[in-house]
Amino acid sequence: MSMGEHSKIFDVAGLEALVGSLLEEAQRQGASAAEVAGNLGEGLSVTVRRGEVETIEHNRDRGLGVTVYFGRRKGSASTTEFSREAVQRTVQAACDIARLAAEDPCQGLAPARLMASDIPDLDLFHPWGVDVERAISLAQECEQAAFDAEPRISNSEGGTVSSHAGYHLYGNSHGFLGGYPTTRHTVSCAVIAGEGEGMQRDYWYSTARHPDALEPVVEVGRQAAQRAARRLGGRRLSTCRVPVLFCAEVASSLLSHLVGAVRGGTLYRKASFLLDHLGRQIFPDFVHIHEQPHLEGALGSAPFDNEGVATRPRDLVRDGVLQGYVLDGYSACKLGMETTGNAGGVHNLTIAPGVQEGGGGEFSFGEMLKRMDRGLLVTELMGQGVRLITGDYSRGAAGFWVEGGEIRYPVEEITIAGNLREMFAGLVMVGSDLDLRGTLRTGSWLIEQMTVAGE
């Protein structure tokens, strides 16, 4: 669908006029600078449980957020009302806050020269047009596929089909005004498997910008069933130090800890174990982690960040060496650096497949199991036991014991522990089984050794 098609769904011209009026009102009330973000959205979500409709949700949302600056003092306010009176009240509230705020030399807009000069079409907008009846039918089909796939599925938490379309617009007193539409569609299923007195829950989901890119609903249900059933009969382990393989969907959490440790806010507060590590080796030589904000149709793509700064492809880690931080305008100023276009987060941060001694290459999940030979495969993580200031890592986990390169039996009620600095340095292999369902894109990670605490 062409970029112009979104104007048939959203009143883009009206939103642009509102953003312009907010900026004018801020100037009229004495602000030296201002920025406004506007959002329009509409969606449908349907959940069925045991074949019966449980929830049908239609949502239509809109909002405007304004930030004003009086020199280096800042105030923000937001509204979901779009009347002229509401616009004036919102700007007035932001100005009142700014006048009372303390001076901060780093408050202000991102530099004008960094604003996105053109807004490329990144193919992010593909409305589904699915109606309630069709969504119910697909959710029922998804859930039923789970029951059909595995006789040990004893109950269900439901099958869900959802679709959302939105438009994001940002403008500031540099004269920047840019916007783009997005869609996001999801099919998910969560079921419970039972055997004797044992019960296990698991789920699966597929999400994409384009409905045609979703996994078939039958496959989503089947995956959920197989994942729940294979966890039955879980055992405890004796405490040991072994290699640990994080499957792709949980390996993304390790990538998120890296982002957290090199995020500007963490760094200027001196709360990161990677403080002052720019230009230093933090991973083995084969590791390449790069941001790809302009991938067409990807879930993390964006032409500009939340401050209007143009996004650009860049290396975060190359040859294992940390090349940059994750900065917005404020944190960049605090560090005496320049924003990296990451106000609002990273955009399609991807770790390339590879292996410690061989550099690049494609390695399947099965090949990674064989390489590990004996150790723990982690498929679920629990708890929040990560301290970015020290890198200490301790989380509850569940998964499978691997012997002779093959999965032998499920394990549960264990804790895996280590330190992120050592875990990153001990990354042996990254798989080619990339999980593309978010803005952190990674295959499975094989870590050389961690402590597994059990009985």
Domain limits of the chain? 3-229, 240-453
pLDDT in tens, the chain (455 residues): 444 667 667 999 999 999 999 999 999 999 999 999 999 999 999 999 999 999 999 999 999 999 999 999 999 999 999 999 999 999 999 999 999 999 999 999 999 999 999 899 999 999 999 999 999 999 999 999 999 999 999 999 999 999 999 999 999 999 999 999 999 999 999 999 998 888 999 999 999 999 999 999 999 999 999 999 999 999 999 999 999 999 999 999 999 999 999 999 999 999 999 999 999 999 999 999 999 999 999 999 999 999 999 999 999 999 999 999 999 999 999 999 999 999 999 999 999 999 987 766 788 999 999 999 999 999 999 988 999 999 999 999 999 999 999 999 999 999 999 999 999 999 999 999 999 999 999 999 999 999 999 87
Q: How far is CA 253 from the centre of its chain?
A: 10
Chain segment 338-384, per-residue pLDDT in tens: 999 999 999 999 999 999 877 667 889 999 999 999 999 999 999 88
- Give the per-residue pLDDT at 430: 97
Chain segment 208-232, per-residue pLDDT in tens: 999 999 999 999 999 999 999 999 9
- Give the per-residue pLDDT at 283: 98
The domain 3-229 is placed in CATH, from the list 3.30.1490.190, 3.40.50.300, 3.30.2290.10, 3.40.190.10, at 3.30.2290.10
* Cα–Cα distance, 110 to 132 (Å, whole number): 43
